[in-house]
Amino acid sequence: MELASLLRPLGLVAGPAVVVAFGLFVVGIVTVGEDALDGTVLATASSAAMLVALVAIGAVALAALARLREAGRAVAGSAVAVLGSVLVAGGSWAALFVISALAQEAPEALEADLVTTVIGFIASYAVFAVGWAWTGIALLRAGLVPTWLGVATAVAGVIAFVPSPEPFRVLFIGVAASLLARRLAAPAASPVRVPASASA
């Protein structure tokens, strides 16, 4: 069984999981406010859903890498997307297990201006965004996805670097990843070709 087919069930979870994370985040902002959100049940649930979504997004990046390799195409973009997904998932893991504990035990630690943490966060999202934009373009150029899906994936990668709350950054790439998981694992995931003209 091909790697893309094995990863498909996990990849299909990316979109729904990130939509749940985004919804919980919005409910938290509306009910308790952004400043008081850290450490709440809503924040923890949103972080858990984000972690699931990012693991699924990483699985789709791996499936894209496998498909591109099978097609004899360069896999550097997908490798960067896998790395970026792991880095951003690490941040979500920290949000789920470290930040929630700090919010309860040492809230002053969250208020400290840690430059290295901010730089690490920005760098992780830069790798994630570049990797996914590159993957969308690579899949499109290889003819492995329809034009709209390749463009949507590349644009979603760019959106992931726009300064905004994490659930919003990942929302579009999560949906694109679920659509990619479906396409890359389909039996007809051979290159998309333009029909030959009648005169040929």
**Residues 171-189 pLDDT 10s:** 999 999 999 998 887 654 4
192 within domain boundaries? no
pLDDT of residue 186: 67
Angle 64-67-69 from CA coordinates, rounded to 5°: 105
Q: What are phi and psi of 195, to 5 degrees?
A: -60, 145
Give, as one character, the DSSP assignment of residue 95: I
Residue 189's pLDDT is what?
41
The segments of the chain whose pLDDT lies below 70 read 1-4, 36, 38-39, 95, 99-118, 186-200
| Dist. CA 197–CA 149, nearest whole Å | 25
Supply the pLDDT for residue 80.
94
Domain contains 97? yes
The boundaries of the domain holding residue 32 are 3-185
190 within domain boundaries = no
For residue 50, being part of any structural domain is answered with yes
Q: The pTM is what?
A: 0.81
Quick one: how many helices (H) and strands (E) in the chain? 9, 0
List helix spans (H) across 71-195: 76-94, 100-105, 107-111, 115-141, 147-159, 166-185
- Tell whether 137 is covered by a domain: yes
CA 69 to each of CA 7, 38, 119: distance values in angstroms, whole numbers, following the listed order? 16, 42, 33
Structural domain contains residue 105: yes
According to the model, what pLDDT value does residue 1 have? 44
**191 domain-assigned:** no
Three-class secondary structure of residue 88 per DSSP: helix
In the chain, the number of structural domains is 1
Q: Is 68 inside any structural domain?
A: yes
